Amino acid sequence: MPALSDKAVRHWFVTGASGGLGRHLTEHALRNGDRVTATVRRPAALRDLRRTYGDDRLTVETLDLTLPADVERVVAKTLASGPVDIVVNNAGYAVVGAAEEMTVQQIRDQVEVLLLAPMLITRAFLQPMREQGGGRIIQISSMGGQVGIPTHSSYHAGKWGLEGFTESVSREVSDFDIHLTLVEPGGTRTGFASALRYTAETAVYRDTAVGRIRRHLATADASTFTGDPARLAAVIYDTTRRPNPPLRLALGSDTYSAIHTALTERITALESQEELAASVAFTE
């Protein structure tokens, strides 16, 4: 059987496709002759693409990622229509504020969308991908999957969790020609910033790093975000054609710089503890 990346027409499953990177990926795949099942909360957002490419090339499904039963329903319906070659877990958003300002529901919703839903979707496609001889799963993480900043604790919980889950699963399924890739974009002009949700601000944090970042995000303009989502989509698409794609794909000079700094600091801190780490072993 030919490699899935060589198939003339491949079937994509993309979450959060109504705008931003998800829509760019959907358009890019369609322009290159592929078929896409796109999940959205507002089906009308893709009406223009359905007119252009037709229902035989683009299937639009309404999906609420905070409802596991909804995830199960849509995935099952998609698989019933035929094999899926590429899954893109893209949907996401961020709640901004101090950890103690966040409500329990805000935390639950962040973890549901950023971590639990991608886990459930990934698991649902593993068996059919094994049986068809392989597949690709693209997890849209973030530089926030490797770097932590104040105000994003729940967002980081989801993205760091997604990174650990993906790294583990990638090693579980490597023998089946199933490849998982974590895409880590930096600031990208996708409208993500304008869709940020904020906690109710408390006075005690107003003059701290939390308050400063909150004000910066609230006033940031498009020039702050240098990533071109169309170029990101093209790079991600090309990655799905590579026989051995990377586990992690850092996209954006801001991402490269931030992750490089974070990893260097961690290595330095770890190396300073070498003797301490060894000191807890049993002694003869």
Which residue in 5, 18, 142, 155 is the catalytic one? 155
Q: Does residue 221 carry a pLDDT above 80?
A: no
Query: Once rounded to an integer, what is the mean pLDDT over residues 76-105?
Result: 95
Which residue in 18, 141, 142, 153 is the catalytic one? 141
| Cα torsion angle, 250, 254, 257, 263, sign | negative
Domains of the chain: 7-252 (3.40.50.720)
At 106-165, the pLDDT tens digits run: 999 999 999 999 999 999 999 999 999 999 999 999 999 999 999 999 999 999 999 999
Query: Once rounded to an integer, what is the mean pLDDT over residues 221-235?
Result: 82
223 assigned to active site:
no
Which of the four pLDDT bands, split at 50, 70 and 90, describes residue 63? very high
Query: Which residues 6+ apart lie within 8 Å of 268 measured at CB?
Result: none
The pLDDT value recorded for residue 5 is 62
Which residue in 153, 154, 159, 237 is the catalytic one? 159
Q: Does residue 1 carry a pLDDT above 60?
A: no
159 assigned to active site:
yes
155 assigned to active site:
yes
Is the entire prediction scored with pTM above 0.95? no
Inter-residue long-range contacts of 26-35, CB under 8 Å, 24+ positions, other chains counted: 26/58, 27/233, 28/230, 28/233, 28/234, 28/237, 29/86, 29/237, 30/57, 30/58, 32/237, 33/8, 33/9, 34/9, 34/10, 35/9, 35/10, 35/11, 35/59
Query: Once rounded to an integer, what is the mean pLDDT over residues 49-69?
Result: 93
Q: Does residue 190 carry a pLDDT above 90?
A: no
